[in-house]
């Protein structure tokens, strides 16, 4: 079983829509959680960290449910520039190791 | 401040040839990583280093070797390239710490014929 599982999509939504991505992780000892964004043919970049209490950054809201080992990302009022692949990332218990989901592809259309 | 740089950006190899990919970071990060990314597979860790002079195996280390002789550089070597090593290779670095972000280089596209 993979460490991190994501729905690969693709998700195709109109501008202004709200879209949610989900992710599950297998190691209950995982310590930190993140969402990264990757544009086509570019490197991944940190979008936001995910905290147990949930956190928000503008139109983006991330939530963590440790009991269910589940992470989510909500994007409100989608923009064309949100089109990208969103990677769910988990830091395991091994020093320095991150585990990446396969990514969920989002396309926002006008 | 260039961040993380990778050399070369693109390379074509024949089966059996060798090459070295260079990663350099100017952020004084302790940790450095090499990943490969294939369609439908996501990012997979090849090798990583938690400090100068130390390396460790990741998920897919076979066919690769690494060295971290200087803190700012992390080299990935392919001794005898195979078509299965055709991929996009990303280097990343981070400070030590649980919440520290990994910063990625722009990637090296490798085609093995």
Q: What is the mean pLDDT of residues B23-47?
A: 93
Is the pLDDT assigned to residue B110 strictly greater than 90? yes
H or E element that contains B107:
none
Is the pLDDT assigned to residue A74 strictly greater than 90? yes
Distance from CA of A101 to the nearest CA of B (A): 6
CA distance A10 to A7: 8
pLDDT higher for B4 or B1? B4
If DSSP codes are grouped into helix, strand and coil, which group holds residue B84? helix
Q: What is the mean pLDDT of residues B16-45?
A: 93
pLDDT tier, A3 (very low <50, low <70, confident <90, very high otherwise): confident
pLDDT tier, B112 (very low <50, low <70, confident <90, very high otherwise): very high
Candidates A43, A47, A62, partner chain B, best to mutate (most B CBs within 10 A): A43
Instruction: Return mean pLDDT, chain A.
Output: 92
Least Cα distance to A94 among B33, B41, B24, B76 occurs for B33
Binary contact (B90, A44; C-beta < 8 A)? yes
C-alpha B16, offset from chain centre: 20
What pLDDT digit, counting tens, does each position of B44-64 carry? 999 999 999 999 999 999 999
Phi/psi region, residue A34 (left: phi>0; alpha: psi -120 to 50; beta: rest), is: beta
Closest Cβ–Cβ partner in A31, A43, A95 for B90: A43
Asked if B40 has any chain A CB less than 8 Å from its own CB, the reply is yes
CA distance A105 to A9: 6
């Amino acid at each position: 079983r993979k460490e991190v599982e994501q729905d690969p999509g693709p998700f195709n939504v109109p501008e202004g829509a709200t879209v949610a991505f989900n992710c599950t992780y297998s190691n209950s000892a995982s310590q930190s959680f993140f969402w990264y964004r990757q544009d086509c043919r570019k490197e991944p970049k940190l979008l936001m960290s995910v905290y147990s209490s949930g956190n928000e950054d503008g139109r983006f809201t991330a939530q963590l449910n440790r009991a269910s080992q589940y992470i989510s990302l909500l994007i409100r009022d989608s923009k064309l520039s949100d089109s990208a692949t969103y990677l769910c990332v988990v830091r395991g218990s091994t020093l320095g190791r991150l585990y990446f989901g396969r990514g969920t592809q989002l396309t926002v259309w006008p | 401040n260039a961040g993380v740089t990778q050399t070369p950006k693109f390379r074509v190899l024949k089966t059996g040839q060798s090459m070295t990919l260079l990663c350099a970071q100017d952020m004084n990060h302790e940790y450095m990583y090499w990943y490969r990314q294939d369609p439908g597979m996501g990012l997979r860790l090849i090798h990583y280093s938690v400090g100068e002079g130390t390396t460790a195996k990741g998920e897919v280390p076979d066919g690769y070797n690494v060295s971290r002789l200087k803190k700012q550089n992390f080299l990935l070597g392919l001794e005898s390239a195979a078509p299965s090593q055709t991929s996009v290779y990303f280097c990343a670095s981070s400070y030590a710490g649980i919440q520290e972000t990994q910063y990625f280089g722009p990637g090296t596209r490798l085609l093995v014929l």
